[in-house]
């Protein structure tokens, strides 16, 4: 079984309040994009996990793919498997790659061993692994609320638009991202604002992490501004960074872009 866990981008991200459990109440729209890791799962006598491509930091066993397997094995006594993850989505980049990998392990094992778990069951399991993980079970545009696990489908598509995704190789940790935000409720919800034409989004749809992250890492702000200068109808940082993306009406010429722009390019293509 070979699967292709996708990255996601965030269309707006509002930090509404600090919760009593230490998490933050947020609102964001997440959209899968055609930029993938590669995950192979095969039945095996002994469990093994091989990771190639971009190196994932951390001790053996800490990877979310392994945690997803152990979670299902504990609950449903599934047999061992061999997993090979070819990592292509950068870590700490606001693209949800690790969460996507974990969700696809759950879905893949559900199919491989015919567990017949519903999407709701899989989402509940995914929520035990991380806030973004449930989103990747259905893998469609969704509003995420709570700490990111409360999902509502969105009638939103960017099909036919051209996407440029840049990552400057700066790791933005969760602690750093949240340290600089000032939670507050907005006059209009993000869901309502997204009903406006995409041509109006740049003045309406905001990622609350940008102010402090851009102050700490001006290079990220410079990349976003270059996307706008190159004609993006909407550009933003994704999640807590450090990736930024631009949505264009059509393919653009990259030859004249800055060296930082070219060196940061990790995906460009039609959605």
Convert the pLDDT of each residue in 213-267 to its tens digit.
999 999 999 999 999 999 999 999 999 889 999 999 999 989 999 999 999 999 9
The single residue of 37, 101, 132, 208 carrying the catalytic annotation is: 132
Confidence (pLDDT) at 197: 96
> What's the average model confidence in pLDDT over 40-44?
98
Q: What are the structure tokens assigned to 165, written together?
A: 């995704």
Question: Is the pLDDT score of 22 beyond 80?
Answer: no
Q: Is 203 a catalytic residue?
A: no
What are the tens digits of pLDDT across the range 138-182?
A: 989 999 998 888 899 999 999 999 999 999 999 887 788 888 888
CATH 3.30.230.10 fits 2-153, yes or no: yes
DSSP H or E segment with residue 216? helix 210-216
Mean pLDDT of the chain: 94
Question: Is the pLDDT score of 270 beyond 90?
Answer: yes
CATH 3.30.70.890 fits 162-270, yes or no: yes
The single residue of 8, 37, 101, 208 carrying the catalytic annotation is: 8
What is the domain partition of the chain in residue ranges? 2-153, 162-270
Q: Is 8 a catalytic residue?
A: yes
Confidence (pLDDT) at 155: 92
pTM score of the predicted model: 0.94
> What's the average model confidence in pLDDT over 31-58?
95
**C-alpha to C-alpha distances, 17 to 14, 175, 181, 226, nearest whole angstrom:** 9, 16, 10, 32
Report the distance separating Cα 267 and Cα 69, nearest Å. Answer: 29
One fold for 2-153 and 162-270? no
3-state secondary structure of 22: coil
Q: What are the structure tokens assigned to 249, written together?
A: 């009406």
> What's the average model confidence in pLDDT over 6-32?
91
């Amino acid at each position: 079984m070979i699967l292709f866990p996708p990255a996601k981008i965030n269309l707006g991200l509002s930090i509404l309040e600090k919760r009593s459990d230490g998490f933050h109440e947020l609102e964001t729209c997440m959209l899968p994009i055609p930029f993938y890791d590669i995950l192979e799962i095969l039945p095996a006598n002994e469990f093994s996990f091989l990771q190639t491509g971009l190196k994932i930091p951390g001790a053996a066993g800490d990877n979310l793919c392994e945690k997803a397997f152990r979670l299902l094995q504990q609950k449903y006594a599934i047999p061992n498997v061999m997993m090979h993850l070819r990592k292509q989505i950068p870590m700490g980049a606001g693209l949800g790659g690790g969460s996507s990998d974990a969700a696809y392990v759950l879905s893949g094992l559900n199919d491989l061993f015919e567990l017949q778990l519903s999407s709701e069951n899989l989402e509940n399991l995914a929520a035990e692994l991380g806030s973004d993980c449930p989103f990747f079970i259905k893998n469609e545009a969704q509003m995420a609320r709570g700490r990111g696990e409360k999902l509502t489908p969105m009638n939103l598509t960017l099909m036919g638009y051209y996407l440029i995704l840049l990552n400057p190789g700066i790791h933005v940790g969760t602690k750093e991202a949240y340290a600089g935000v000032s939670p507050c409720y907005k006059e209009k919800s993000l869901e309502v604002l997204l009903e406006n034409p995409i041509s109006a989004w740049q003045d309406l749809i905001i990622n609350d992490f940008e102010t402090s992250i851009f102050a700490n890492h001006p290079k990220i702000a410079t990349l976003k501004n270059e996307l706008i200068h190159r004609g993006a109808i909407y550009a933003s940082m994704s999640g807590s960074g450090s990736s930024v993306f631009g949505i264009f009406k059509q393919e653009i010429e990259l030859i004249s872009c800055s060296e930082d722009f070219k060196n940061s390019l990790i995906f460009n293509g039609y959605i």
